Structure 1
């Protein structure tokens, strides 16, 4: 039993000695690696020093843990702000053509989309009753005219009374006027195109009975169209006739630069707006009356403004600010917070009236991660 106990103690001592030997080896390895690291750092520091002596700017762009940013130098440039005024395409020749006589419709030449020249027939209304009236009045007129001529000859020879002559003359002239009216009414049975244009919509069919004044069709011309928009009364006086405007046609995905031709002088009582017109050049077959438009009208222009991208402007409880580039006491490139006054913005550009100057360098990428005095590294 005693021998077993002694053997166990001996084995324990051997294991302990073995563990202590392993720890000593690891400690020795640690010291060895530590020395290598220190020597490597010394070499790295020496190499960094030599590079900096040859290229002083190199160290400034390689700060450890620096925030990577992109920058932009401010250059003054023209700035324009535009208002958006919705509207539609109108035509100065957009009319409802109505019947000018009563009767049954015999023929309808008008088809939606069909083009007609001025004076071409669109619709023909039955004229039989008018023709019958003309024939009847013509007979009476011929007789009255013959009697008038006889009375005139007799009167020239002092035969008969003047009253008889005047009665014959009046009757002849009355029938003459009646004939003229009937012939005019006969012309009205043929409804003609009032100008060169296109049939937009037809309201009647062949065989239908129409009355004088009833609408037959809508007729439009594409040669005299204009964009009509309504602008808020607060912009009255900010633009003038002749100013250029951008007119967008969302349906066509098209924008045209036009000139303002007319500005309304009356404010609508309900919408508190006034009208703005811009003539559309002829030869635009895809542009149709009543098509939706968006008119972009310049209400402010500065030819020499400090302009920055809208997305670089941040905001806190004190106001709007941007980050610019500056140097700290150790000559490191850092972010600097600058408060600015933004007068207006339009389509991604902001006009800054205070806080920035020309040639200031602003951070345009990485600015949201920056804080005042953050060390930054500029990347292209």
Structure 2
């Protein structure tokens, strides 16, 4: 026998009530009495409609018109909450090779990317003037030394005055001190690597002027890198040494997991943040490379977490809709479950109470169904 659809419930009720209302106008002029009479008739009609629908369903003369929903089983899984921030790669040892005297660069012996050892010669400053002055002083020293020796010999024989002897001695010693100073300056015309590492950012070329303290280049120890970041003051009590950190390098499309190796004990008064560091071993990383840091500040090994969009709010608090299957078929009854939320991250919320392992969440179509309604999946 062919199945057919029953007239929608609300339309049928409306028509019946309209007919009854029109018929009762002549019998009663009291609006309150009319309202009570219509409510009584509506209840009777609703009961009759329900009985007829049940009978027709059992006889197979009408088809059920049930909402279709999607389901998701509740399972325990690890849940983590992260603090997101941006960091950068930093060399634990980054030293500038600088000059101690002014002058023009005579030779630059290194290029960017060269590996150098501590004490290796990096550049030389013009020293022609120093060498000329040194040669003159060395000639002068020969003369002052000869005069001193002669005067000393005479003085030892009690010949000549003491003043002449002391003056000859002072001239000799003064010349020696001047030579020593020039030799020190001569040594300073050479710039050496202060540490072993990779040459980075050679800032000056041959012929350019350099001043005391001006860096020739930076030397990075890329074998001992670290990630540094700044965490907002609000998380000061949550972040500690040893916390797990997930680090993502966008330009390398690479993610690693490490630990917090250092947490600053002071807050930056300008931006209200504190510094953290993570050791970085191996890999093709570069100083000042950008990294996305995710610090684990909360985790639970066996947690119930669900998409945040499944949670609704009612008079009794937050709740979700679950489906209780009625048998082996594709039908289920909608049930409302009040829940307590915990931490949330990246669109998922930890559920502290209300759900248990194996519960069936209504994940799609939950906006169109009500508690107690029969649905199909």
How far does residue 68 in structure 1 lie from its aligned partner after superposition? 4.0
Answering whether residue 211 of structure 2 is matched by residue 211 of structure 1, we say yes
Partner of 1:228: 228
Tell me the residue number matched to 2:52. none
- CA 1:319–1:97 in structure 2 vs 1: closer, same or farther (change >3 Å)? farther
State yes or no: 1:65 paired with 2:78. Answer: no
Distance of 1:156 and 1:255 partners within structure 2: 84
Deviation at 1:81, TM superposition (A): 0.8
Distance 2:298 2:238 in 1: 8
The residue number in structure 1 matching 2:343 is: 344
Indicate the larger mover: 272-281 or 164-173.
Answer: 164-173
Q: Tell me, in whole angstroms, the C-alpha distance in 2 between the residues paired with 1:172 and 1:313.
A: 95
**Per-residue deviation, residues 222-278 of structure 1 (Å, max 9, x unmatched):** 123211111011111213222221122122111222221211111111211100111
Give deviations 1:133-175, integer Å, cap 9, x for gaps.
2222333344555666677788889988888777666655554
Deviates more, 1:299-308 or 1:172-181: 172-181
Is 1:240–1:263's contact at 8 Å kept on the other side of the alignment? yes
Give runs of aligned pairs for residues 1-380 of structure 1, distance below 5 A.
65=66, 67-75=68-76, 77-144=77-144, 172-281=172-281, 283-284=282-283, 286-315=284-313, 320-326=318-324, 333-378=332-377
Which piece of structure 1 moves more, 157-166 or 113-122? 157-166
Q: What is the CA-CA distance between 1:315 and the residue it aligns to?
A: 4.7
Q: Is the 8 A contact 1:74 1:361 kept in 2?
A: no
Contact 2:66 2:376 in 1 (8 A): no
User: Higher mean Cα deviation, 229-238 or 84-93?
Assistant: 84-93
Which sits farther off after the overlay, 152-161 or 194-203?
Answer: 152-161
Corresponding residue SS for 1:202 = coil
In the alignment, the residues of structure 2 paired with residue 232 and residue 158 of structure 1 have an alpha-carbon distance, to the nearest angstrom, of 84
Answer with 189-198 or 148-157: which moved more: 148-157
Q: Report the CA distance between 1:189 and its aligned residue.
A: 1.5
Q: Distance in 2 between matches of 1:256 and 1:169?
A: 72
Tell me how far apart the structure 1 counterparts of residues 352 and 121 of structure 2 sit (CA, whole Å).
65
SS in 2 for 1:228: strand
Q: Tell me: CA distance 1:95–1:315, structure 2 relative to 1, closer, same or farther (3 Å).
A: farther
1:122 Cα offset (Å): 2.5
Report the Cα distance in structure 1 between the residues aligned to 2:160 and 2:78, rounded to whole angstroms: 95
Please give the alpha-carbon distance, in whole angstroms, between the structure 2 residues aligned to 1:299 and 1:86.
16
- Report if the CA contact (8 A) 2:247-2:293 is conserved: yes
C-alpha distance in 2 between matches for 1:232 and 1:268 = 10
* Distance in 2 (alpha carbons) for counterparts of 1:358 and 1:165: 106
> For the residues of structure 2 that align with 1:371 and 1:246, how far apart are their CA atoms?
42
Give the Å deviation of 1:369: 4.2
TM value normalised by structure 2:
0.71
**Number of residue equivalences:** 318
Query: What is the alpha-carbon distance in structure 1 between the residues aligned to residue 224 and residue 151 of structure 2?
Result: 57
Structure 2 residues without counterparts, runs of 5 or longer: 3-56
Q: Distance in 1 between matches of 2:66 and 2:265?
A: 63
Q: Is the contact made by 2:74 and 2:304 (CA closer than 8 Å) also made in structure 1?
A: no
Distance in 2, matches of 1:101 and 1:91, equals 28
Equivalence for 1:19: none
Counterpart-to-counterpart distance in 1, 2:161 and 2:79: 92
In structure 2, do the counterparts of structure 1 residues 171 and 325 end up closer, same or farther at CA, with 3 Å as the change threshold? Answer: farther
Report the TM-score when normalising by structure 1: 0.70
Between 155-164 and 82-91, the greater mean CA deviation after superposition: 155-164
